[in-house]
Structure 1
Amino acid sequence: MQRPFASGPLQKACIASDRKARSRELCGCIQAVADQTLSGAQQRVAVSFYADPHRAQVIRQSDKASHEAFWQAYKNYGETAQRICG
């Protein structure tokens, strides 16, 4: 089965990262899933985690309603990306 592929901010951040598992195909797949599950603003927040992984923890633990809503969407994105791209 061929994985979906898209170009965008998460794909670019993934390719630029130092993660061993990164590849053009994997990074394009996670971008395609992001395009289906996250808004543009949510994708920009997710991209920031590549440069500042601690920010993900701060947002996850935040009591702000907007952070909680983001985290639920981000969690769904991660689970969907794992299933489709993993």
Structure 2
Amino acid sequence: MKLSVVAAALCAAVAVCGGAAFAGPVESACLKSGRSAASPATCTCIQYVADMTLSGSDQKMAARFIKDPDKAQEIRTSDNAKHEAFWLRYKNFGETAESFCAQG
């Protein structure tokens, strides 16, 4: 519940402050993806969840997944301990974004 209150406040701040000028790596990749679900509001929401759950370097990696989905599979199946730790953080980010940013 706390997360949704914080995120709602952040989304409201974006609407007031014009968040497009401050687009992060995940939001930028989302907006450039060409996917039908990649609306400005959804991409902004996803970026705010990324800001709350991922470091800057994690966000850059997540943005690469949007551009190159095969990279996600490569990291997910890697035996590298750093990749495994990242994948757990990324999975948490994805689950959080899915529940928080769901439209409907």
Same fold (TM over 0.5): yes
Query: Is it true that 1:85 corresponds to 2:93 in the alignment?
Result: no
**Cα deviation code 1:47-71 (max 9, x no counterpart):** 1112211010010000100000000
Q: Which residue of 2 aligns with 1:61?
A: 77
4+ residue runs over 2 A deviation:
1-7
RMSD: 1.7
TM-score for the superposition, normalised by structure 1: 0.92
What is the 5 A alignment of 1:2-81? Answer: 3=8, 4=11, 5=14, 7-81=23-97
Which secondary structure does the structure 2 equivalent of 1:63 belong to? coil
In structure 1, stretches of 5+ residues that fail to align are none
Quote the Cα distance in structure 2 between the aligned partners of 1:9 and 1:59: 18
Structure with the bigger RCO (C-alpha within 8 Å, sep 6+) is 1
TM-score for the superposition, normalised by structure 2: 0.77
Q: Matched residue pairs, number?
A: 86
| Higher relative helix content | 2
